[in-house]
A and B are shown apart, each in its own frame.
Chain A
Amino acid sequence: MSREFIHLKVKRQDTAETSAYWEEFKIPYKPNMNVVSVLMELRKNPVNVEGRKTNPVVWECNCLEEVCGACSMRINGMPRQACSALIDKIEKSPIVLEPLHKFPVIRDLKVDRQVMFDYLRKITGWVNIDGSWELGRGPRFPEKDRQWAYQLSRCMTCGCCLESCPNYSERSPFIGPQAINQVRLFNAHPIGQMDREKRLDAIMGVGGITDCGNAQNCARACPKEIPLTVSIADLNKDTTLYGMKRWLYK
């Protein structure tokens, strides 16, 4: 698609407390741009469509190659990474940029996703080694299992799954697909599985796995194509069996 300008419509918010407003921009088109490079161009000449000087748009980004998870935002209504949103592949104009809806806004497109890291604490999201000193070779692990576990371990905590989940909101206690997926990952590891029950306990009860409504939006929204719904299904089975056992042997 040929265009002379990239027309941006950005939902802005000056502070965490003030209300949001829209501002539009036209940035000269170059081939091979992405949403991040457009915002970078804008900083060099921060003028809106009315020709008025304005504050440069604030957003979060680090790696620009979709491995850090920083630059999540809503682009034309879809939660995704701004770095891999190539302008030449976006037909719609204006391109509408909004912060993720389900996290508190810090400023403009930048949001606070601390809650996702808190949930990783809640589920004992680590392999509980005795210490980082040398103890010789680690456990053997079959390559075929390693391959699917590796897929799970590529989660960047970007928030796209939570943003797209109808059962997750700022007010809901649901810990969401990303944390559940990590339970499956750590429970697959030969040392990690020694804390298996502790992690299953963490996702049973209020805010746990049964809060999932099976909309399956998460797996579609995940930029890393992590099989989140498979993880949820797998842990549904594990928690059910474990729940029965817990009840029987209490």
Chain B
Amino acid sequence: MAEKRIIVVGGGLSGLMATMKAAEKGVKVDLFSLCPVKRSHSVCAQGGINAALDTKGDNDSTWEHFDDTIYGGDFLANQTPVKEMCDKAPGLIYTMDRMGVMFSRTPEGLLDLRLFGGVKYPRTAFAGATTGQQLLYACDEQVRKWEDAGMVKKYEEWEFLSAVIDDDGVCRGIVAQDLATMEISTFAADAVLLATGGAGMIYGRSTNSIINTGSAAGAVYQQGVSYANGEFVQIHPTAMPGDDKNRLMSESARGEGGRVWTYKDGKPWYFLEEWYPAYGNLVPRDIAARAIFKVCVEMGLGIDGENKVYLDLSHKDSDFLNIRLGGIMEIYEKFHGDDPRKVPMKIFPSVHYFMGGIHVDYKHQTAVPGLFASGECDYMYHGANRLGANSLLSALYSGTVSGPAIVEYINGLDKSAKEVDKKHFEQELKRQQEWNDKIIKMDGSENPYKLHQEMGDIMTENVTVVRYNDKLQQTDEKLQELQERWHNINIQDASAWGNQGLMFTKQLWNMMQLARVITIGALNRDESRGAHYKPDFPNRNDDEWMKTTKAKYTPDGPVFEYEEIDNQWIKPRPRKYDVDKGASKNE
């Protein structure tokens, strides 16, 4: 067999970790990214990364971390991979520490830990309030070392368009487009990993980066890969609403003592502390987002009658805040103008994270052999609601699974991608070339950015914190109308060089496909579980709905099937945060 070569699409934490793991095993990697990998969205994660290091005398354990994660996810996640992740977390953090991550330290130079939502012990390692950036930089540096050694070739400023799948249904490479020259090319590989992150752009404004369109996931979904648990979208309770995006104000603000309040009867009202005495301000995100939504939208008690409440750190010492939370202090001050060390921040919930994603097995392989997915673009570790500081963990950890799994897979292959009939590559290239030619000629009357705004507005209105079936139905009808109107776009810019509008129009199409998956998935699921909340069906219904949603593409819209869940470790129990969660036993 010829030289082994794989493709990794996406240079965030998961993609870079998988790249590192493959290179260590002697497998060459072609690494594709929309942007220089150092600018990937992982940089935006702030508060920290969870691991039961138990360095604070709390008798914390990986089992407790596992139980918190399953309970926090409202018993939707398959339990075995979550257990593995929590078991491996301490070792992974120590490895990142060896790579030079500037984690905050205790007085004796060990990794410091802080509190986060939905837990009782400090379990979150952190580097100020820019933990994601620091972890990404460490991975970027290690991959640069492999690049220097000739094991990694970067294709930065290239966009993934589709997978090349042969007649046997095996993935043999990708089609990608150079974002400067606009040239579309095929690349052969023994296996392909998608590590392409979340899809916040479907909602217009979110805490995500502009590049988080979910377009790559949408593309392989249309090629037959299932999309799982799409309806589970995390709304982060504390973000700074903005015109261009909503800027995250980390949960670590509450972990370090921040309090959420608004005025009631002329006096400060700490509603989270009143409603959830056991966890207070540190209830999980779905609970906190719903509470803030209730206070503002239903009770009309937002500050100055607007949809905003206070996140208050002004009682804490400024030096303490600068050291522990400097990154978010700076963002709030720069973008809002007020100094959060002196006055409370004004915040409102925002779309933040996709618990759902590409359906994969425990080795992160999709139903298409040779096509893998890991990181936020997969669906694996968070169930119906993700706990804070578990995303950096799942991003990194999933890369430590997908990377070696791909190596194992290609070692078992009987022919290399180079030996595959060229016609498969030519066919897929032709399909993408024709799609490109169609779009570049579109001279209708719609503006793609305005269509995107319309989609984002209706998704934000109806498919976020509170969901009603009639509204979801209307949203799906609107999405179909938007898809029709997409064909009437005017491309504005027909140039064959650095054409961002052309790429955006392609991404928009893929976003529209996933928007329907999310909306109809929510419409179908008549229960409330984690981030998915329907006032008309306020309870969790394990008998009917403790199942993974799997959406499959058809030209007439998604069709759904539901898969049983692996809950062999922890017996499902009701989830409440007004009292202690109680413990499951590690038997």
Interface residues of A (CB under 8 A from B): 14-16, 30, 32-34, 36-37, 40, 43-46, 53, 55-56, 58, 60-70, 83-84, 86, 106-108, 110, 113-114, 117, 120-121, 125-129, 131-143, 146-147, 149-150, 153-154, 156-157, 185-186, 189, 191-192
Contact = CB atoms under 8 A, between A and B. Distances in A.
Contacts of B112: 143
Nearest to B498: A107
26 contacts: A14-B495, A14-B497, A30-B243, A32-B242, A34-B243, A34-B244, A43-B501, A46-B492, A58-B500, A62-B39, A62-B209, A62-B211, A64-B209, A106-B180, A106-B498, A114-B156, A121-B144, A121-B148, A125-B144, A127-B98, A127-B141, A129-B98, A136-B91, A149-B102, A156-B39, A185-B100
A214 B43 CA distance: 31
Contact of A70 (B39, B105, B134): B39
B95 interface: yes
- Which of B112, B138, B497 has the most chain A CB atoms inside 10 A of its CB? B497
Contacts of B447: 43-45
Interface string B327-370: 10011001100000000000000000000000000000000000
Contacts of A156: 38-39, 43, 133
A16 B180 contact: yes
Interface residues of B, number: 72
Given A69-B38, A135-B94, A137-B94, A58 B498 contact: yes
Nearest to A129: B98
Q: Which 8 A-B pairs have the closest CB atoms?
A: A138-B97, A140-B109, A107-B498, A126-B141, A134-B91, A127-B100, A37-B244, A143-B105
Given A34-B335, A65-B247, A70-B35, 6 more contacts: A32-B243, A56-B500, A67-B327, A68-B35, A147-B323, A156-B39
B91 A117 contact: no
Nearest to A127: B100
A61 B142 contact: no
B301 interface: no
A66 B148 CA distance: 28
A223 B107 CA distance: 30
B267 interface: no
B24 interface: yes
A134 B44 CA distance: 26
B20 interface: yes
A148 to B, nearest CB: 10
A62 to B, nearest CB: 4
B94 A61 contact: no
Interface in B30-65: 35-36, 38-41, 43-44
